[in-house]
Every structure is written in C-alpha cells, then in structure tokens.
Chains A and B, each alone.
Chain A
Amino acid sequence: MAGLSSLAAAEDTATRRVLVTGLSTYWGGRLAQALESFEHIDAIIGVDSEAPTRELERTEYVKVSNQHSLLERIVRAAEIDTVIDTRLVVNSLMAAPRLAHENNVIGTMNILAACTGSDSPVRKFVFKSSTHYYGAEQDDPAFFTEEMGRPHPPHTGLERDILEAEQAVGEFAQRNPHVTTTILRCANVLGPDVDTAFTRMLRLPMVPMVLGFDPRLQFVHEYDVVHALEHAAFRVAPGVYNVAADGVLALSEVIDLVGKMPLPVLPPWGTGLATGSLRRLGFRIPVEVVNQLRFGRGVDNRLFKATGFDYGYTTRETVIKLSEHLRLAPVMRGTEHEYTYEREVEEFLRWSPNVRREHPGERGGVADDSDPMGI
C-alpha cells in the first residue's frame, strides 16, 4: 500500500471559485455546506430554479433556470473556475419524465454551453452521474468497470437521458482538453437524510422481492458521495469513475441487516404489471430499479480509490448505518428543525453591516487576506 499515496491524483489547489448546480437538490445543498467549511474556497455560487432546502452560510443562491446565456454570464461575472454539476435526476419518481428529460439532457447541454469558449474561466467540470448508466441485465458482468458500456440499449427514459447526458459531457471533455472533466457514477445511495428508491423500500415493514431472485446490490453512503464530489473538486482526476462502497450484498442480506422481512411478492414473469398494481396500493418502485431487483448490479470501485479516495463506509456498514437510523426514527420524530429559505433573511445575514460576524471575511463583507490553509 505504500506506493499508493504517490500514485494518487495530484492535489488541485487552484479550486477557489465554485459553481454548484442544483442547489435545491439534496446533493447540491450538502455539497455547498461541505464546501463552506473550506476556507480557501473564496466563492460558492449555487444556481437552481428552486430555493435552497438546506441552511447555507455563505453560499450565494442565484435563481436561474437552465438558460445557458444567463448561466454563462454568471460563470464569467463570478470568474468561476470549477463547476460541480449535481443536478442529474436519477430516480424516475422524483420528476415527471418530461421534466427529467428537460433537466438531464437539455439542462446538461446548457450548463456545458455555459462553460465552453476559449476565454471561459472554467478549468474544472465535475459531473455527478449514476450507475444506472450500466443498467441491469441478465448478461451483465458481475462488476462493471468504467470503460464498459451497457450490453443492451436502455428500456427507460431515465436511463436514456443519463446516457445522453454523459455523452454530452464526454464530448465536452474531448473538445475542451484544458478543462479537467470528471464524471462520477454513483451507485444507489443510502443514508439517513437522502431519499432514494432503496431508502424508501427499506423503510417498509416488509421489503418486496422478485420471487426466485436474490440480486446482488451495491450501495454508497450519502457522506461518501459528498466526499467524492469534494475529492473530485480538490484533485486533478480527469475521467470517469465509479463511486460505490466496498462490498456487494445480496438483497436478502440487506433485508436481514435492516431487520426486516423479505416479501417475495413480485412475480418473476410480468413484474411490470405487478409493480403497477403495487403502485395503486401506494407503493412505487421506479422502473429503472425493477430490473435491479431481478438482476442486481455490482461495479468495480478501485479506479476512484486509486486516485487517493477513501470510503468511510463499506456497503455493509452503509446498510447498518441506515438501519440504526430507521430504528431511531420513531424516537427522534419531530426533533429535527425544518429549514425554509427566506430571501430577505438570507440577504440580511449575508450583507447587513449590523450582523456581527465572529470570523471577518467568512460571510460577505470585505474578504480577509489571511489564508488559514496556507495555500
């Protein structure tokens, strides 16, 4: 292992002014919060068409939809050097198909257009993608590596959109060799705060399975995804990387760890119809996950580890963490405080001379010249 550290991707100290897209999404908010703690980051600008859902200290929110001319003006005006695109919709239940397509394909194209141009200040582009890129099929390999594609064309609109978005980012990377472009394909995420198809399934008293199948599944903890985005921002690691925790678990193993009962109610034939009737009962499984419940999916996560990234949790630990949270949830209900974005309040806190700030330069005002990071 000694040789590893020297092989890891080089530190990128030039990341100072960051644009985070999809600020109102879970990932945008979490990433902005994380970036705020790095004092050498001078500016964090978040764009989205909706207001932020997490409390932010010094991130500036700009309400803008996917218009590339406006985005480009923001990028240039703020001299953004790093764009982190966390906006991709990876769960078909989160947005209507039309909206998802608009966001994933058209939105990505617009963001990329805003970063293009020889005089563009952008020198790093980080794109959060999903392992839905690989799909889940009968003739899949047990571990997808980054250079593999999916063996068959996608069945669902969402998977098609993800492919198209990644293709657009790939073309951008080819045409702009001076921009370090990193694509992170994240496995299914679990965690106490994030809302994904699998956290919803594991919250149920009994977890539905397809009769006669015990798929292999790989997860990643929400913290590790945020760290991975950070890692990509602070390292020179161009290319495509799978982000998934160590270890591939069988669904039965996952259900056992969470302490739930397996409920093999989905028939092996006509699974689509059955999920339709489940939907009528109020429980919805996204179409892109149905195949995963049958064939599962594992990815090779070593390439990203080779850039010097350490996962905080294995897949097993991720599931255990979630189950601890689920057990605690009934006790903790109502104690977390809800955050609502109020434009006037946020602006007052950031810009009013009457706000006493413990750390000068941290929130708005005149930036302090001292550099605690010593970079």
Chain B
Amino acid sequence: MRRLVADEQRTSLAGPVVPAERAGEEGSEEQLPERRPAEIMRDLLPAIEHERRLNDWGRSERVEGFMDRTLIEFFYRYWFRTEVEGIDNVPSESGALVVSNHAGALPPDAAMIAKAIREEHPNPRPLYLTVEHFFKGYPGFSMLIPKVGGVAAHPANVHRLLYDERQLVLVFPEGRKGTEKLYRDRYRLRRFGRGGFVEAAMRAEAQIVPTCVVGAEESAPIFGHVDVLRKLTGLIYFPITPTFPWLGPFGMLGYLPAKFKIRFLEPIDTVELGGAEAAEDKALVQTLAQEIRAQIQENLHEMLAMRKSVWLG
C-alpha cells in the first residue's frame, strides 16, 4: 500500500498539500460514489501490520498458536486420531466456503476441520469460522472466539472474507439446530437454513466445498436439555452430556474418544452457475442448498456404512 509517511509536517498548517501526481488529471464524470472495481477495492484493504498480534477481525496468532500446539494437537492426533480425505478439494488460493455438518454439545468439528487444513493441505491457510451472533454478546465467549478465528455469521462478514480478502470460511448451515440435536438423531442433517450460505458464496463468486465429518456426534453426545438452566445461564442451550454439567464448565471439553473422519468433497464453482447475478435467483439458491445437503447426507451414510467401530474407525 502506498501511504504517506506519518508526519506532522504533512498537515496543511505547514503548507498546502496538493497531491502532485493527481493534480490536473482529467475530471471523472461519475457523480455518485460507486464501489470501484473489485481489484482496486482489494488494493485499498488495510495493509497487514506485522508488529500486531491480532488482525482486523480480532484473530490472535498467539492465542490460536497456543491452542493449536496444545489442546487441538492433542485432540486431533491422539484423542480423535483424525483421518482426512480429499484435502486437495480445498482450493489453495482464492476465497472458498467450506460447508459442513455440525454436531456435539461444544462442537469439536470446526477446530478439527481447521486443524486438518493446517496439517494436511499443501498451502495451509487460516480458516475463518462463522458463529452465531449470540457469542458476541456472551461474556467470555465474546473475548475468546474472535481470537481463534470466529466471525459472526453476518452476510457482510462472509462477503468481505470471501470476496475482498479471499479467505477460507467455514460455515455450518444447520447452525444451532445441528448441535442441539439429541444423540438419537445423529447424522440426520437438519434444515440448511434459508440457503444464505449459497447466496453469500455466489455473490462473492467463491467456490463451495461440501464437507462431511464423522465422529463429532459420538464424541459429545447430548442426551437431553434442561430448559430452566438454559434460561438461567442465558446460553443458547443447556445440554446433558456424559460429562456436562457433572464436571462443571470444563465438562464441555470432556469428549469421548470417537474416531474422526473428515471428507472434503469436490468443490462447486459458483461462477459457472451464474455468479453474482444469479445470487438473486431464490429458486436456484434453494435448489443448490438442497443439493449440497443431499450430497453431504449421502456421503455421511457411505462413511457410516464403512465404519466398523465408533471408537476405532
């Protein structure tokens, strides 16, 4: 980025500043401010300041690195013994939306997918995770979640990440409905919202990578919900799991050692489907959302049929 040296001398109190290289250029005709072409708007993104430990989304290399080396490393390698298929389906450049099934009281799937990309991918890239707005308003979560790459699931956030910053974004279209479902409903995909994630990807002309995770359901099964305690604590749900609430808040981390398998499916090119203009087409968006859901469900069934043991894989 071209930026003038920060210096008080620059102030006009010391003399008129006329940007010489721009003075006298032919006047532009447009009278209304428009979003300039994408490349130029991308160039205008704030430059990365290397002295900083956080980026503009509040993501902290330090906190994330620490978690990655300790807790996540332990769970990924030794506890869940994660196996990954089709890592090449995750694009190594440009924005892409990773769409996955979602499960577990305190879902371990997001961290495992992020770790899988970090460990297995030829070009390990940070993965941004979209979370509910709820977390931004809950003390503690609000501090921690942005530090490890969580971003509120606002369409504008997803668009900026995919389109302007060309990052990888993970989205769970099932949302809360996926994580709060009981053990007996495992691996039954919930409704995929209103297809907002497809719309966001099309608008940003980003690829969609459907992803299946097996193991999260068994690692943190939910047997029931306590509505009174949910209301008292102000949480989105208050589950009963093998370890929660019996072991206190850390019981949320009491995962059972289920074998994890992550499968990345063929990416879907939204540009071929019409890109940004087609994002307005509600029917197309809905159909595509349905198709992606069916594809993930089908692959989940296939993976489950091949699984000999929940714990050994």
Binding site for B on A (CB under 8 A): 1, 3-11, 33-35, 37-39, 138-143, 145-146, 148, 210-214, 216, 223, 226-227, 230, 236-241, 246-250, 253, 268, 294-295, 298, 300-303, 305-308, 310-314, 316-317, 321, 373
Contact = CB atoms under 8 A, between A and B. Distances in A.
B221 to A, nearest CB: 29
B57 interface: yes
A136 to B, nearest CB: 10
B154 A303 contact: no
A33 B13 contact: yes
B3 to A, nearest CB: 6
Which 4 A-B pairs have CB atoms at the shortest separation, nearest pair first?
A212-B139, A246-B46, A10-B27, A239-B33
Contacts of A295: 136-137
B22 interface: yes
Interface in B2-33: 2-4, 6-8, 10-17, 19, 21-28, 31-33
A237 B33 contact: yes
A1 B27 CA distance: 19
Nearest to A37: B12
B2 A1 contact: yes
Contacts of A373: 16
B11 A145 contact: no
Nearest to B158: A141
A226 B51 contact: no
Given A11-B24, A311-B3, 7 more contacts: A1-B43, A142-B152, A213-B142, A213-B143, A247-B56, A253-B52, A253-B53
B36 interface: yes
Given A39-B16, A303-B35, A310-B2, A138 B137 contact: yes
Nearest to B159: A141
A307 B151 contact: no
24 contacts: A1-B43, A3-B40, A6-B28, A8-B25, A11-B25, A34-B11, A37-B12, A139-B133, A139-B152, A141-B154, A142-B56, A142-B154, A143-B156, A212-B138, A216-B56, A226-B11, A227-B17, A248-B58, A253-B52, A253-B53, A306-B33, A308-B22, A312-B6, A312-B10
A211 B136 contact: no
A294 B53 CA distance: 21
Contacts of A39: 16
A34 B160 CA distance: 36
Name the prevailing secondary structure of the B interface residues: loop
Nearest to B48: A247
Given A214-B58, A306-B36, A314-B49, A140 B142 contact: no
Nearest to B59: A250
Contacts of B138: 212
A212 B140 contact: yes
B41 interface: yes
A37 B58 contact: no
Contacts of A145: 156
Given A142-B151, A314-B49, A223 B157 contact: no
Nearest to B143: A214
Contacts of A311: 3
B143 A249 contact: no
Given A3-B40, A212-B140, A250-B54, A140 B154 contact: yes
Contacts of A139: 133, 136, 152, 154
A298 B15 contact: no
B146 interface: yes
B13 A302 contact: no
A314 B46 contact: yes
B6 A214 contact: no
Interface string B57-91: 11000000000000000000000000000000000
Contacts of B146: 214, 216, 250
B232 interface: no
B15 A302 contact: no
B157 A141 contact: yes
Given A142-B152, A310-B4, A38 B58 contact: no
Nearest to A304: B33
Given A34-B11, A226-B11, A312-B6, A7 B40 contact: yes
Nearest to A306: B36
B226 interface: no
Contacts of A307: 33
Contacts of B58: 214, 216, 248, 250
Contacts of B235: none
A301 B19 CA distance: 20
A148 B35 contact: no
A250 B8 CA distance: 26
Given A306-B44, A312-B7, A249 B157 contact: no
Contacts of B27: 10-11, 236
Contact of B28 (A9, A33, A216): A9
Interface string B140-153: 10110010000110
A223 B19 contact: no
Contact of A227 (B11, B53, B137, B157): B11
B47 interface: yes
B156 A141 contact: yes
